[in-house]
A and B are shown apart, each in its own frame.
Chain A
Amino acid sequence: MAQIAVAFAVGIIFAFGLAVSEMINPARVIGFLDVAGRWDPTLLLVMAGALAVTVPIFPLILRRSKPILAAQFSLPTKTRLDPPLVTGAVIFGAGWGLAGFCPGPALAALASGSPSVILFVIAMLVGQWLASRFETR
Protein backbone atom coordinates (compact mmCIF):
# COMPACT_ATOMS: atom_id res chain seq x y z
CA MET A 1 0.00 0.00 0.00
CA ALA A 2 2.81 2.41 0.90
CA GLN A 3 4.50 1.68 -2.43
CA ILE A 4 1.29 2.47 -4.31
CA ALA A 5 1.04 5.82 -2.48
CA VAL A 6 4.70 6.56 -3.27
CA ALA A 7 4.15 5.78 -6.96
CA PHE A 8 1.15 8.15 -7.07
CA ALA A 9 3.02 10.95 -5.27
CA VAL A 10 6.09 10.51 -7.47
CA GLY A 11 3.85 10.72 -10.55
CA ILE A 12 2.50 14.06 -9.29
CA ILE A 13 6.00 15.46 -8.68
CA PHE A 14 7.15 14.21 -12.09
CA ALA A 15 4.20 15.87 -13.84
CA PHE A 16 4.87 19.16 -12.04
CA GLY A 17 8.46 18.95 -13.24
CA LEU A 18 7.26 18.44 -16.82
CA ALA A 19 4.79 21.33 -16.55
CA VAL A 20 7.09 23.83 -14.79
CA SER A 21 9.85 23.14 -17.33
CA GLU A 22 7.27 23.21 -20.17
CA MET A 23 8.57 19.87 -21.42
CA ILE A 24 4.90 18.91 -21.56
CA ASN A 25 4.72 21.36 -24.48
CA PRO A 26 5.83 19.82 -27.81
CA ALA A 27 6.69 23.31 -29.10
CA ARG A 28 9.46 23.55 -26.47
CA VAL A 29 10.79 20.11 -27.35
CA ILE A 30 10.78 20.76 -31.10
CA GLY A 31 12.48 24.10 -30.38
CA PHE A 32 15.33 22.19 -28.76
CA LEU A 33 15.54 19.56 -31.50
CA ASP A 34 15.46 22.18 -34.26
CA VAL A 35 19.16 22.96 -34.25
CA ALA A 36 18.95 24.64 -37.67
CA GLY A 37 16.12 26.94 -36.58
CA ARG A 38 15.84 29.26 -33.56
CA TRP A 39 17.42 26.81 -31.12
CA ASP A 40 15.80 26.67 -27.67
CA PRO A 41 18.15 25.24 -25.02
CA THR A 42 15.41 24.69 -22.41
CA LEU A 43 15.44 20.87 -22.73
CA LEU A 44 19.17 20.88 -22.07
CA LEU A 45 18.58 22.86 -18.86
CA VAL A 46 15.92 20.35 -17.81
CA MET A 47 18.35 17.48 -18.33
CA ALA A 48 21.01 19.40 -16.42
CA GLY A 49 18.61 20.09 -13.53
CA ALA A 50 17.53 16.46 -13.36
CA LEU A 51 21.02 14.99 -13.70
CA ALA A 52 22.39 17.42 -11.08
CA VAL A 53 20.05 15.63 -8.65
CA THR A 54 20.27 12.01 -9.89
CA VAL A 55 23.94 11.63 -10.87
CA PRO A 56 25.41 12.30 -7.39
CA ILE A 57 22.64 10.62 -5.36
CA PHE A 58 21.75 7.47 -7.37
CA PRO A 59 25.03 5.71 -6.43
CA LEU A 60 24.41 6.48 -2.73
CA ILE A 61 20.95 4.90 -2.92
CA LEU A 62 22.18 1.87 -4.87
CA ARG A 63 24.88 1.25 -2.25
CA ARG A 64 22.14 0.19 0.14
CA SER A 65 21.29 -3.51 0.19
CA LYS A 66 17.62 -2.80 -0.56
CA PRO A 67 15.18 0.09 -1.02
CA ILE A 68 13.27 1.45 1.97
CA LEU A 69 9.86 -0.06 1.15
CA ALA A 70 10.55 -2.94 -1.24
CA ALA A 71 12.36 -6.26 -0.82
CA GLN A 72 14.89 -5.50 -3.55
CA PHE A 73 15.89 -3.06 -6.26
CA SER A 74 14.29 -3.77 -9.65
CA LEU A 75 16.93 -2.62 -12.11
CA PRO A 76 17.45 -3.25 -15.83
CA THR A 77 19.46 -6.43 -16.34
CA LYS A 78 20.65 -5.96 -19.93
CA THR A 79 24.21 -4.70 -20.33
CA ARG A 80 25.07 -5.45 -23.98
CA LEU A 81 25.06 -2.72 -26.59
CA ASP A 82 22.92 -4.81 -28.93
CA PRO A 83 21.15 -4.05 -32.25
CA PRO A 84 17.64 -3.72 -30.71
CA LEU A 85 18.90 -0.93 -28.44
CA VAL A 86 20.27 1.01 -31.41
CA THR A 87 17.31 0.34 -33.72
CA GLY A 88 14.84 1.14 -30.96
CA ALA A 89 16.55 4.43 -30.14
CA VAL A 90 16.51 5.44 -33.84
CA ILE A 91 12.79 4.60 -34.17
CA PHE A 92 11.92 6.36 -30.93
CA GLY A 93 13.93 9.42 -31.98
CA ALA A 94 12.09 9.59 -35.30
CA GLY A 95 8.71 9.53 -33.55
CA TRP A 96 9.85 12.05 -30.94
CA GLY A 97 11.01 14.43 -33.67
CA LEU A 98 7.77 14.07 -35.64
CA ALA A 99 5.43 15.11 -32.83
CA GLY A 100 7.62 16.51 -30.04
CA PHE A 101 6.10 14.05 -27.58
CA CYS A 102 7.95 11.41 -25.61
CA PRO A 103 6.05 9.06 -23.27
CA GLY A 104 6.12 11.14 -20.05
CA PRO A 105 4.88 14.44 -21.46
CA ALA A 106 2.31 12.64 -23.63
CA LEU A 107 0.78 10.85 -20.62
CA ALA A 108 0.81 14.02 -18.50
CA ALA A 109 -0.74 16.01 -21.37
CA LEU A 110 -3.69 13.61 -21.33
CA ALA A 111 -4.92 15.79 -18.47
CA SER A 112 -5.73 18.46 -21.06
CA GLY A 113 -8.35 16.13 -22.54
CA SER A 114 -7.07 16.95 -26.03
CA PRO A 115 -8.26 14.33 -28.57
CA SER A 116 -4.92 14.66 -30.40
CA VAL A 117 -3.01 13.69 -27.25
CA ILE A 118 -5.37 10.78 -26.66
CA LEU A 119 -4.76 9.62 -30.24
CA PHE A 120 -1.00 9.83 -29.73
CA VAL A 121 -1.12 7.85 -26.48
CA ILE A 122 -3.31 5.12 -27.99
CA ALA A 123 -0.92 4.83 -30.96
CA MET A 124 2.00 4.66 -28.49
CA LEU A 125 0.34 1.83 -26.57
CA VAL A 126 -0.35 -0.05 -29.80
CA GLY A 127 3.30 0.43 -30.78
CA GLN A 128 4.52 -0.91 -27.45
CA TRP A 129 2.19 -3.87 -27.73
CA LEU A 130 3.30 -4.61 -31.31
CA ALA A 131 6.97 -4.53 -30.31
CA SER A 132 6.31 -6.72 -27.29
CA ARG A 133 4.92 -9.41 -29.66
CA PHE A 134 8.38 -9.83 -31.14
CA GLU A 135 10.22 -10.19 -27.86
CA THR A 136 11.82 -13.53 -27.15
CA ARG A 137 11.57 -14.42 -23.51
Chain B
Amino acid sequence: MTEPNTLGGLIGGALIGLAALLLLALNGRIAGISGILGGLITSTGRGDRFWRCAFIFGLLAGAGLYALTCGGLPLELQARGPTLLVAGLLVGVGTRLGSGCTSGHGVCGLARRSPRSLLATMIFMVAAALTVFLTRHIF
Protein backbone atom coordinates (compact mmCIF):
# COMPACT_ATOMS: atom_id res chain seq x y z
CA MET B 1 0.00 0.00 0.00
CA THR B 2 2.89 2.35 0.58
CA GLU B 3 4.33 1.93 -2.94
CA PRO B 4 3.11 4.76 -5.18
CA ASN B 5 0.67 3.67 -7.88
CA THR B 6 2.52 5.48 -10.69
CA LEU B 7 0.92 4.00 -13.80
CA GLY B 8 -2.55 3.67 -12.28
CA GLY B 9 -2.35 7.24 -11.02
CA LEU B 10 -1.42 8.70 -14.40
CA ILE B 11 -3.91 6.60 -16.37
CA GLY B 12 -6.69 7.12 -13.82
CA GLY B 13 -5.97 10.85 -13.78
CA ALA B 14 -6.13 10.98 -17.58
CA LEU B 15 -9.50 9.19 -17.47
CA ILE B 16 -10.80 11.79 -15.01
CA GLY B 17 -9.50 14.52 -17.32
CA LEU B 18 -11.19 12.85 -20.30
CA ALA B 19 -14.48 12.70 -18.39
CA ALA B 20 -14.21 16.43 -17.63
CA LEU B 21 -13.48 17.20 -21.31
CA LEU B 22 -16.46 15.22 -22.55
CA LEU B 23 -18.89 16.82 -20.11
CA LEU B 24 -17.70 20.32 -21.05
CA ALA B 25 -17.54 19.77 -24.82
CA LEU B 26 -20.86 17.96 -25.11
CA ASN B 27 -23.05 19.30 -22.29
CA GLY B 28 -21.21 22.54 -21.49
CA ARG B 29 -20.95 21.54 -17.84
CA ILE B 30 -18.12 21.53 -15.30
CA ALA B 31 -17.37 18.06 -13.90
CA GLY B 32 -17.26 19.18 -10.27
CA ILE B 33 -18.77 16.43 -8.19
CA SER B 34 -19.81 18.58 -5.23
CA GLY B 35 -21.47 21.04 -7.61
CA ILE B 36 -23.29 18.32 -9.55
CA LEU B 37 -24.52 16.77 -6.29
CA GLY B 38 -25.30 20.08 -4.60
CA GLY B 39 -27.28 21.24 -7.61
CA LEU B 40 -29.83 18.60 -6.71
CA ILE B 41 -30.60 20.48 -3.48
CA THR B 42 -31.33 23.85 -5.04
CA SER B 43 -32.06 22.75 -8.58
CA THR B 44 -35.08 23.99 -10.45
CA GLY B 45 -36.47 22.01 -13.33
CA ARG B 46 -36.64 18.32 -14.02
CA GLY B 47 -34.20 18.31 -16.92
CA ASP B 48 -31.52 19.76 -14.67
CA ARG B 49 -32.15 17.12 -11.99
CA PHE B 50 -32.10 14.32 -14.58
CA TRP B 51 -28.58 14.87 -15.85
CA ARG B 52 -27.23 15.32 -12.32
CA CYS B 53 -28.79 12.03 -11.23
CA ALA B 54 -27.60 10.32 -14.42
CA PHE B 55 -24.04 11.40 -13.67
CA ILE B 56 -24.22 10.13 -10.09
CA PHE B 57 -25.74 6.82 -11.22
CA GLY B 58 -22.89 6.65 -13.75
CA LEU B 59 -20.36 7.08 -10.93
CA LEU B 60 -21.98 4.23 -9.00
CA ALA B 61 -22.33 2.04 -12.08
CA GLY B 62 -18.71 2.68 -13.07
CA ALA B 63 -17.43 1.78 -9.62
CA GLY B 64 -19.67 -1.31 -9.59
CA LEU B 65 -18.47 -2.34 -13.05
CA TYR B 66 -14.87 -1.90 -11.95
CA ALA B 67 -15.49 -4.03 -8.85
CA LEU B 68 -17.01 -6.81 -10.96
CA THR B 69 -14.36 -6.83 -13.70
CA CYS B 70 -11.24 -6.05 -11.69
CA GLY B 71 -11.89 -8.02 -8.50
CA GLY B 72 -13.40 -5.55 -6.07
CA LEU B 73 -12.84 -1.92 -5.12
CA PRO B 74 -9.70 -0.81 -3.31
CA LEU B 75 -11.25 0.60 -0.16
CA GLU B 76 -9.55 0.94 3.22
CA LEU B 77 -11.52 3.30 5.44
CA GLN B 78 -9.44 5.66 7.55
CA ALA B 79 -12.07 6.80 10.01
CA ARG B 80 -15.13 5.36 11.67
CA GLY B 81 -18.49 6.30 13.18
CA PRO B 82 -18.49 9.79 14.71
CA THR B 83 -15.35 10.91 12.86
CA LEU B 84 -16.84 9.91 9.50
CA LEU B 85 -20.01 11.78 10.40
CA VAL B 86 -18.13 14.96 11.30
CA ALA B 87 -15.89 14.61 8.23
CA GLY B 88 -18.91 14.22 5.96
CA LEU B 89 -20.57 17.30 7.44
CA LEU B 90 -17.40 19.36 7.02
CA VAL B 91 -16.94 18.19 3.43
CA GLY B 92 -20.57 19.06 2.66
CA VAL B 93 -20.52 22.51 4.28
CA GLY B 94 -17.04 23.34 2.97
CA THR B 95 -17.62 22.39 -0.65
CA ARG B 96 -20.91 24.29 -0.73
CA LEU B 97 -19.48 27.42 0.89
CA GLY B 98 -16.25 27.21 -1.12
CA SER B 99 -18.02 26.50 -4.43
CA GLY B 100 -16.25 23.24 -5.19
CA CYS B 101 -14.07 20.27 -4.37
CA THR B 102 -11.05 18.43 -5.75
CA SER B 103 -12.60 17.84 -9.17
CA GLY B 104 -14.36 21.17 -9.68
CA HIS B 105 -11.58 23.44 -8.41
CA GLY B 106 -8.61 21.11 -8.80
CA VAL B 107 -9.19 19.55 -12.22
CA CYS B 108 -11.64 21.83 -14.05
CA GLY B 109 -11.02 25.21 -12.39
CA LEU B 110 -7.26 25.08 -12.84
CA ALA B 111 -7.80 24.16 -16.51
CA ARG B 112 -10.02 27.26 -16.86
CA ARG B 113 -7.18 29.29 -15.31
CA SER B 114 -9.58 30.41 -12.54
CA PRO B 115 -7.83 32.35 -9.75
CA ARG B 116 -10.61 31.30 -7.33
CA SER B 117 -9.94 27.63 -8.06
CA LEU B 118 -6.18 28.03 -7.71
CA LEU B 119 -6.63 29.69 -4.31
CA ALA B 120 -9.22 27.14 -3.14
CA THR B 121 -7.08 24.18 -4.27
CA MET B 122 -4.01 25.45 -2.42
CA ILE B 123 -6.04 26.15 0.72
CA PHE B 124 -7.89 22.83 0.91
CA MET B 125 -4.68 20.87 0.20
CA VAL B 126 -2.85 22.67 3.03
CA ALA B 127 -5.83 22.43 5.41
CA ALA B 128 -6.17 18.71 4.71
CA ALA B 129 -2.44 18.03 5.16
CA LEU B 130 -2.50 20.02 8.40
CA THR B 131 -5.51 18.04 9.63
CA VAL B 132 -3.73 14.76 8.88
CA PHE B 133 -0.62 16.01 10.64
CA LEU B 134 -2.60 17.01 13.73
CA THR B 135 -4.67 13.82 13.90
CA ARG B 136 -1.88 11.34 13.05
CA HIS B 137 1.20 12.85 14.64
CA ILE B 138 0.09 15.16 17.45
CA PHE B 139 -3.08 13.82 19.04
Residues of chain A contacted by B78 (CB below 8 angstroms): 26-27, 30, 99-100
Instruction: Indicate if the CB atoms of B16 and A49 lie closer than 8 Å.
Output: yes
Instruction: Indicate if the CB atoms of A128 and B41 lie closer than 8 Å.
Output: yes
Please give the distance in Å from A35's CB to the nearest CB on chain B.
6
Please give the distance in Å from B43's CB to the nearest CB on chain A.
11
Contacts A46-B16, A47-B106, A50-B16 given; does A73 touch B62 at CB 8 Å: no
Query: In the assembly, what is the distance between CA of A93 and CA of B111, in Å?
Result: 21
Instruction: Indicate if the CB atoms of B16 and A131 lie closer than 8 Å.
Output: no
Q: How many residues of B contact A (CB 8 A)?
A: 112
Interface of B is mostly: helix
Residues of chain A contacted by B121 (CB below 8 angstroms): 89
Instruction: Indicate if the CB atoms of A123 and B89 lie closer than 8 Å.
Output: yes
Contacts A8-B54, A11-B57, A15-B60 given; does A132 touch B96 at CB 8 Å: yes
| Interface range on chain A (Cβ under 8 Å from partner) | 35 or more
Query: In the assembly, what is the distance between CA of A10 and CA of B133, in Å?
Result: 35
Residues of chain A contacted by B105 (CB below 8 angstroms): 89
Contacts A55-B110, A111-B64 given; does A14 touch B31 at CB 8 Å: yes
Residues of chain A contacted by B60 (CB below 8 angstroms): 11, 15, 107-108, 110-111
Mark A1-24 against chain B: 1 for CB-CB distance below 8 A, else 0. Answer: 011111111111111111111111
| 3 nearest CB pairs, A to B | A11-B58, A127-B92, A88-B98
Between A and B, 17 residue pairs with Cβ closer than 8 Å are A6-B23, A7-B51, A18-B12, A43-B9, A49-B12, A51-B17, A53-B13, A62-B112, A76-B109, A81-B119, A88-B96, A89-B98, A93-B130, A98-B86, A99-B77, A104-B103, A114-B75
Residues of B within 8 A of A (CB): 1-2, 4-6, 8-31, 33-34, 37-38, 41-42, 50-52, 54-67, 70, 73-81, 83-103, 105-116, 119-121, 123-133, 135-137
